[in-house]
Structure 1
Amino acid sequence: MRPIRPALAAVGLTAVLALAATACGPGDDNAGSKPSSSASSSDGIQIPDDIKERLKEHGFDLDKWKNGEWKNWDRDKWLREAQDFINPIIDGLWDPDRMKGADKQPQKPVANDISGDKGVTDPTPAPVNAQALSSPYHSSLPALGKILFDTPEGSAVCSGTVVKDPAHPGKSNLVWTAGHCVHAGAKGGWYRNIAFVPSYNDGGKTAAQLPKPTREQLAPYGVFWANGALTSDQWIAGGGPTGGQGAPYDFAVLHVTPEKGSTKSLEETTGSAVAVDFNAPAVPKIASMSANGYPAAAPFDGQKLFRCVDKPGRLSIVQNDPTMYRLGCTMTGGSSGGGWLTSGQDGQPTLVSNTSIGPVTAGWLAGPRLGKEAKDVYEAESKKFANQ
């Protein structure tokens, strides 16, 4: 599984700008502002002048980037600051073979026993065997999907959930996932070529049953590229490859746009988006919670959607930081970022957390309890694209 980033005393937001072929132009910290002019590449991508100049400052040429320059992970080429994020659509990059083969995870497991951590921690839960969801996934959990991205070690995967957008009711393009699925933390920067595939492998076939998968099999509702993202400053400032103090703030929100120029939003495409609860009840008052995702590390193959249902317990990483939720679950790496759902006041599924860390033995998972910091990230990402 993957661990998380250390939390700092002060909580903040890290805004992300991205270039996308179908976007009018990336937002910036001044929501609603528009550049006075823009330059276009030969394939029609609109690049606002201020963004283009920023890319030049870092020595990037968009055409070279799309032709493979993105594979350059030199320290001075690995952008980490908010205003430096670039994620231009590279049409066809995520072809079926590359989607199927993206099974690495960006971080490593935590120790099996972290009982020495200070704070409020309940006994380690008994493992709960992950159960495969029935296919087609679009009928059972249409808001779930797989997140694909590139790292210095190769292509990697996480899981994500389509969530409602207060700025665009019924037409959301927001995806909830883990912070470590978009940013490497203290010793790195933003991952690249980040994309979301709703209802990935909708038919629920195994890797062996997909020797030569088609795009329709793996991405029946298309591929959506991130043209915006937000995560907490804690993860960016202190996140590490084996977790850390930032776990209670390991969340991120992506804004996506279709690779193939569709006019439909992600929510309209999938027919589903779940609400996010930033004031979920205390652990003793929650009867059960489900963790959902596409586990890719053995014994799973990354192609099928699984779920664990358990009554949550509490896990404390740092005494003065928020206590996390913890569930018994045998899911492995790849399920990170997947939504933790419970029944909301209206009886509908509501997102209350996301998979963040887990042990080598894959017997449990932990996720952040979403509070003010998570709400700030969510609302800022919604506001950023409110006028688009």
Structure 2
Amino acid sequence: MRSRIPILLSALMLSLLLPGTGAAAAAGAAGADRTAADRAEDGRVLAYWTPARIANAKFRDFVRTDSGKMVPHAKPGGGGGGGGVVTGSSWANGGAIQQRSGRILFSSGGSDWICSGSVVNDSSTSNGYSIVLTAGHCVYDGADGWSYNFLYLPNFDAQPSYDCNTRADGCWRANLLTAHDDFVPAGFGSNETVRVDYGFARVGLRIAGAGTAELDAATGGYGLNTASVADSVTKWAFGYPAEGKYKGNDLIYCAGPTTADPYGAPTWGVACNMGGGSSGGPWIFGTTDPAVHTTGTLLTSVNSYGYSGVQYMFGPKFNAQTQTVFASATSGTASAGVSVVCAVGTSAPNC
């Protein structure tokens, strides 16, 4: 039997290193609206992300065997496209897609990582928080538990900088993470868990510099498409890959009709050669022209994994349970049998 070798795509360190910041920067424009505990945690996380730690951040790169066992090291497939299919190209249209797509810094298991993510509309720009969508394996790992030191940096293509004080769209610290109940505690590995490899981070107010107090007020947010969508419908996958020809500071996209996983996993794929660093990037559905993806655009999946030598990216199919996990991120309350919630308030949460 041919061995199944999906590659878990996570994050790769970038070459753009910026000065570290301390607790004094954490007050920001919205300092009066934050508790002393919030400001202390903001300062701790900002101080944590030194240039050295950013330089040493890496992507989680795993081979998945046909038995579901995870072992380290694999390389993504490559190649070109044709017939209107885009397998990896720089997004040149800016706009809402660029503003709402960003990079994620986080720690897990004593190591530092980078993923991609996007802003989801929580129906309010004045409730003191916003919601970021990413891959489940960017918020939780079966061996290492929940992620921490979690920062989201929107619009990274236009602002390829980790300096939270000078970035126009700032930095946003997660204070709560949610994942599907089937993803916790096993983590990525089986058909059951790749099916739900998505997670949501609830971020508070901007933690450094000046500007808008809420992330979604600055960037807007996507809706979620949780209705059934057939294969062979075109999707656009976005992310910040940072290996091979990709450097991690350019928003890359793939486009094409979806297809089923060739080895029977309950996921779908799109022709794509993005690799490490793109995990958690959004899949867009809702129009035939990606250049007009603005108000009303819906997300239908995230970048999750690929197969060695196969030029496709695969991701979970959003459904009603995805909406429930999202609702748990907004409310902070788990839904029995569907979602798990972790409050992130320490350097290594134990939820």
TM-score, L = length of structure 1: 0.63
Segment of structure 1 superposing worse, 376-385 or 193-202 = 376-385
2:116–2:240 contact (8 Å) kept in structure 1: yes
2:261 to 294, 298, 315: 315
Shift in Å, 1:342: 1.6
* Distance change >3 Å, CA 361–CA 301, structure 1 → 2: farther
Q: Which residue of 2 aligns with 1:329?
A: 272
1:342–1:349 contact (8 Å) kept in structure 2: yes
Matched ranges for 1:286-365 at <5 A: 286=233, 288-315=234-261, 323-343=266-286, 348-361=296-309, 363-365=311-313
Give the paired residue count. 287
**1:274 aligns to 2:228 (yes or no):** no
**1:104 aligns to 2:61 (yes or no):** no
Equivalent position SS for 1:104: coil
**1:160 aligns to 2:107 (yes or no):** no
Q: Which residue of 1 aligns with 2:348?
A: none
Shift in Å, 1:372: 2.0
* Distance change >3 Å, CA 180–CA 198, structure 1 → 2: same
User: 2: CA distance between counterparts of 1:376 and 1:23?
Assistant: 32
Percent identity of paired positions between Structure 1 and Structure 2: 23
Shift in Å, 1:315: 2.1
**1:248 aligns to 2:203 (yes or no):** no
1:197–1:223 contact (8 Å) kept in structure 2: yes
**1:144 aligns to 2:150 (yes or no):** no
* Distance change >3 Å, CA 221–CA 360, structure 1 → 2: same
User: 2: CA distance between counterparts of 1:222 and 1:292?
Assistant: 21
Shift in Å, 1:95: 4.9
* Distance change >3 Å, CA 171–CA 132, structure 1 → 2: farther
CA deviations on 1:299-348 (whole Å, 9 max, x unpaired) are 322222100011111227667xxx31211100001101000002259984
Equivalent position SS for 2:301: strand
User: 2: CA distance between counterparts of 1:23 and 1:190?
Assistant: 29
Equivalent position SS for 2:169: coil
**1:235 aligns to 2:241 (yes or no):** no
* Distance change >3 Å, CA 381–CA 264, structure 1 → 2: same
Shift in Å, 1:132: 1.1
User: 2: CA distance between counterparts of 1:161 and 1:102?
Assistant: 24
User: 2: CA distance between counterparts of 1:138 and 1:331?
Assistant: 21
1:176 to 124, 133, 138: 133
Shift in Å, 1:170: 9.9
1:126–1:328 contact (8 Å) kept in structure 2: no
User: 2: CA distance between counterparts of 1:236 and 1:243?
Assistant: 12
TM-score, L = length of structure 2: 0.69
2:303–2:314 contact (8 Å) kept in structure 1: yes
- Bigger Rg, structure 1 or 2: 1
Q: Which letter maps to 2:49? A: W
Q: Which residue of 2 aligns with 1:12?
A: none
Q: Which residue of 2 aligns with 1:380?
A: 328
More strand by share: 2
* Distance change >3 Å, CA 103–CA 311, structure 1 → 2: farther
Shift in Å, 1:174: 0.7
1:171–1:268 contact (8 Å) kept in structure 2: no
* Distance change >3 Å, CA 326–CA 293, structure 1 → 2: same
Equivalent position SS for 1:310: strand
1:171–1:266 contact (8 Å) kept in structure 2: no
* Distance change >3 Å, CA 102–CA 143, structure 1 → 2: farther
Equivalent position SS for 2:87: coil
Q: Which residue of 1 aligns with 2:8?
A: 2
Shift in Å, 1:215: 2.4
* Distance change >3 Å, CA 162–CA 367, structure 1 → 2: same
Q: Which letter maps to 2:46? A: D
Matched ranges for 1:66-105 at <5 A: 89-95=44-50, 98-99=53-54, 101=55, 103-105=57-59
Shift in Å, 1:188: 2.2
Equivalent position SS for 1:246: helix
User: 1: CA distance between counterparts of 2:146 and 2:123?
Assistant: 26
Q: Which letter maps to 2:91? A: L
User: 2: CA distance between counterparts of 1:23 and 1:177?
Assistant: 30
* Distance change >3 Å, CA 254–CA 377, structure 1 → 2: same
Shift in Å, 1:23: 10
Shift in Å, 1:274: 1.1
Shift in Å, 1:254: 0.8
